[in-house]
Amino acid sequence: MSLMSFSHGPFCDHYDRTLLNEAMRELRHCERPYWIGHQNPLNLANAVGKVQNDKDKYAVSVDVSHFKPNELKVTTTGHEVVIEGKHEEKTDEHGQIERRFVRKYMLPKDVSVEAVVSHLSRDGILTVSAPKAAIEGPTGRVIPIQPSHEEHPKHKAVEQHK
C-alpha cells in the first residue's frame, strides 16, 4: 500500500503547482497598493529618472514604488528640487531591507520655484513639474489720446498776450 495519492505524474503535479502559484502571485499583486506589490529591487528611485524640459514645462518622473506616500518628501532649496524617500527596516521575501534615496534636480532659470507641484500615480511614479514662464519680448502699448475739457495753462497765457 502506498502513502502517495494518485496523480497524473510528477510533471503534471509540478505544472499544476507552478500554475497555481503564479495565479496566486498575480491575485496578491492586484489586491495590494503599489508600494506593497511585486517590485524590482534593482529599481530604487529610478537611478536617473525621466526629465522633460520643453518650451512649456519642466518635469521629472521617478519610480518610487518601493515607498509609501508618507515615506516620500519633495522640497525646494533655492532653485533646486530635492526628492527624498526613506523607509525603516522591514522584512520582505528575501530578508530585512531598509531603503533611502535623495535625488536633486536644478530647475531651469525660466521656471518659477513657487509653481512647482508633485503628483504620485497609482503605480508609484512621482512626477514633479512646473510650467515655464513666458519669455517676455520687448513690451509696448498704444497710449490712447483722451480729449480734455480744460485748456492748457501755457495756451491761456499766449491768448492773453494777444
Give the per-residue pLDDT at 46: 47
Nearest to 62 by CA among 130, 118, 131, 132: 118
What residue spans define the domains of the chain?
A: 8-38, 44-131
Q: What is the pLDDT of residues 96-133, one digit of tens each?
A: 888 899 999 999 999 989 999 999 998 889 999 999 98
Q: What is the pLDDT of residues 40-74, one digit of tens each?
A: 444 444 445 789 999 999 999 999 988 899 999 99
Q: Where are the alpha helices (DSSP H) in the chain?
A: 10-31, 153-160
Give the per-residue pLDDT at 41: 45
Nearest to 72 by CA among 108, 24, 11, 121: 121
The second-level CATH assignment, the architecture, of 44-131 is: Sandwich (2.60)
CB neighbours of 57 closer than 8 A, spacing ≥ 6? 129, 130, 131, 132
Residue given cell 529591487 in the structure block = 41
Q: What is the pLDDT of residues 4-51, one digit of tens each?
A: 555 555 555 555 666 667 766 665 555 555 555 544 444 444 445 789
Residue given cell 508600494 in the structure block = 35
Distance, CA of 7 to CA of 99 (rounded, Å): 45
User: Considering the entire predicted model, what is its pTM?
Assistant: 0.55
CB neighbours of 86 closer than 8 A, spacing ≥ 6? 67, 71, 99, 100, 101
